[in-house]
Homo-oligomer: A and B are copies of this chain.
């Protein structure tokens, strides 16, 4: 299995060889531009679920070698951030879980969509109706939710009942100018007991019901990636994004000018990635 740990070793120990190999043999998608990256790599952004751990019952489980990989990256000269579309818990609770799993990660290093969404609400004077996981609600404690003039949909999981989706639909269809924010647009993710539908599926459902286009906050939104780059003080070509999702992690990063690599853990499925191109461990 090609994991974050094998990839980290490649990046840190055999950079020139690794870059050459990816360019010539294994990684079709990121072909052009890799020589530039080899000279200038200054930071790494890691996806979390599917790269460092698999979610599921309780805290989920760390992917073998991933705790060590984070440790090695932190000991290197590279800057490190964690970019996630996790919206089932507040940032604090989410980081506490990661620390219980054994990762040396702090709140300020982690970028999830909810705080970015709250900034957008403030900027545009919007009051949300929330269709999100119970665990995320405290994040919106200070936000005015009376007489809502937009809807925010997150990975609500069991809260995606017919009644709740219908309620969000009725708010949207009742607005003169309906605004739908989606905290990510993932199709599905992997938990320890199997694949689970992600927020993007319900975003599409509401888009179709109301004949509108949602505004995505989170990966693969370039605005979202740029806020992380801004925090690192680095330029896109200086940063490598590593994730298990070809569209939201790898594609989103590439669209933003960064390099993107897909690991073969998490939601990675051979039949899909084979068509689109993914990194092949040598």
Contact = CB atoms under 8 A, between A and B. Distances in A.
A65 to B, nearest CB: 27
A contact face: mostly helix, strand, loop, or mixed: helix
Interface stretch (A99-107, A199-207, A231-239): A199-207
Given A173-B195, A196-B166, A197-B169, A187 B161 contact: no
Interface string A158-191: 1111110110011001000000000000011000
A207 B207 CA distance: 13
Interface residues of A, number: 30
A195 B208 contact: no
A157 interface: yes
A158 B166 CA distance: 10
A169 to B, nearest CB: 6
B160 A187 contact: no
Nearest to A158: B162
A176 to B, nearest CB: 9
Contact of A197 (B188, B201, B209): B209
Contacts of A196: 166
Interface string A199-225: 011101111111100000000000000
Contacts of A170: 194-195
A165 B197 contact: yes
Interface in A142-165: 156-163, 165
B157 A162 contact: yes
A150 to B, nearest CB: 18
Given A195-B170, A205-B204, A187 B211 contact: yes
A210 B158 CA distance: 20
B173 A165 contact: no
7 smallest A-B Cβ distances: which pairs? A204-B208, A160-B162, A205-B205, A201-B205, A201-B209, A187-B209, A204-B204
